[in-house]
Amino acid sequence: MPQTFKENHSSSTAIITACILFGTAGIFLKGIKEMEIGSILFYRLFFGLSGILIYLAVIGKLHNLSLKRNKKYLVLLGVLNTITVFSYYSSIKLTSISVAVLLLYTAPIYVILLSPIFLKEKVTLKNLVALTLCFSGIVLVVDPSSLVTVGGQSSSGNSAYLPGLFLGLLSGLSYGFSIITVNYLKEDYSGLSQTFWSTVVSLLLLLPFGLSVSAPVLIENLGVLIPFGLLGTATGSLLYFCGIARIKAQKASVLSLIEPVSSIFFGCTFLGENLYTSTIEGCAFILFGALLVNFKLPFRLEKSFGSGFSSSFRGFPQIYRPRLPPGIGKF
């Protein structure tokens, strides 16, 4: 049945709202005191998963979370998501929101490079152009001159900047593997089911961090951790998956780019982070590269390289578009 304008509009609004909520992660993260990244992530996921469980129980949809085959890949997805978000949050702490979120969004580079190996897909000229754009964006965002160290410090004067960049690149790499894993699982599990079970795995992995937090520190930060989980994880994920069920994938891919843009906006507006010209230029290159991967062009740029491969990948899979990645807030 064709969608009405009202249905399409409400679906778009749901995805936009979700991506804006995901983009607030940096604000919450900066507001939490005396807690390690692993502990922050544990309680954010704990409160978020609790909110999703309560919602599904109220509407009577818990049966949608039933386990099927390929359980080991759900475990793998949980491990990858943990690495992704842990690296991403660490990069925010050590660099800035704008640098961290743009390095996270280099995931399409790794998907293009790895999908011929793991998904038996062709590499097209369009994807190579997108790869070049994203790589150019990385160079602009990272600014190689800032990697020159003098006395253990980068030229920017921040000794933590270089590790932060490597962690940001690691988040993009692990996110790329997550995308490939999600693409493999999509026939058996919905995006919400994948998010739920991978989050359960993440909670088990992060349990030692959660138990290491003293009661006074936890109580002091509950005012931030609870809304971080309920808004950034539960509400954002539910809105996101509600929206993607009734909207075209390409349109949703465009709307998902609001997440990095909103992250950068919040970092500059509310946290007073500096935004350099090179970062803006890098942002344009990376986002345009990510956008190019998701669209079929009106002119011929689809020539493929390599034989014997079948093509099935159509940009970001369910967890990332209608995702993950989630921005990352979807984990």
Q: What is the pLDDT of residue 132?
A: 83
33 vs 277: which has the higher pLDDT: 33
Q: What is the pLDDT of residue 261?
A: 83
Rank 75-84, 122-131, 240-249 by mean pLDDT and report only the highest.
Answer: 75-84
Q: Is the pLDDT of residue 244 over 80?
A: no
Q: What is the pLDDT of residue 311?
A: 33
- When pLDDT is cut at 50, 70 and 90, the band that residue 326 belongs to is very low
The arithmetic mean of pLDDT across residues 3-29, rounded, is 78
CA–CA dist 106, 77 (Å, integer): 18
Cβ 320 vs Cβ 327: under 8 Å? yes
- When pLDDT is cut at 50, 70 and 90, the band that residue 95 belongs to is confident
Pair of tokens at residue 240: 């996101």
Cβ 81 vs Cβ 198: under 8 Å? yes
Answer yes or no: pTM beyond 0.85.
Answer: no
Q: What is the pLDDT of residue 10?
A: 79
211 Cβ contact list (under 8 Å, min separation 6) = none
Cβ 329 vs Cβ 29: under 8 Å? no
Q: Is the pLDDT of residue 320 over 60?
A: no
End-to-end CA separation in angstroms for the chain: 32
User: Exposed e or buried b for every residue in 7-38, given b needs 16+ CB within 10 A?
Assistant: eeeebbebbbbbbbbbbbbbbbbbebeebbbb
Q: Is the pLDDT of residue 1 over 50?
A: no
Rank 144-158, 237-251, 276-290 by mean pLDDT and report only the highest.
Answer: 276-290
CA–CA dist 154, 163 (Å, integer): 10
Q: What is the pLDDT of residue 318?
A: 36
134 Cβ contact list (under 8 Å, min separation 6) = 106, 108, 109, 285, 286, 289, 290
The mean of the pLDDT values for the chain is 78
Q: What is the pLDDT of residue 207?
A: 96
Residue 278: CB atoms within 10 Å: 16
185 Cβ contact list (under 8 Å, min separation 6) = 70, 73, 74, 77, 194
From 81, 99, 64, select the one nearest 233 (Cα to Cα).
Answer: 81
Residue 77: CB atoms within 10 Å: 29
Region of poorest pLDDT, from 6-20, 81-95, 181-195, 317-331: 317-331
User: Helices (DSSP H) in the chain: which residue ranges?
Assistant: 5-22, 25-30, 37-58, 71-94, 97-104, 107-118, 125-142, 161-185, 191-211, 215-229, 236-244, 249-256, 258-270, 277-293
Q: What is the pLDDT of residue 254?
A: 67
Q: Is the pLDDT of residue 314 over 50?
A: no
Q: What is the pLDDT of residue 209?
A: 96
11 vs 295: which has the higher pLDDT: 11
Cβ 130 vs Cβ 108: under 8 Å? yes
Q: What is the pLDDT of residue 86?
A: 95
| Packed helices 97-104 and 161-185: angle between N→C axes, nearest 10 degrees | 40
Region of poorest pLDDT, from 27-31, 46-50, 181-185: 181-185
Tens of pLDDT along 163-179? 888 999 999 899 888 87
247 Cβ contact list (under 8 Å, min separation 6) = 8, 11, 12, 15, 322
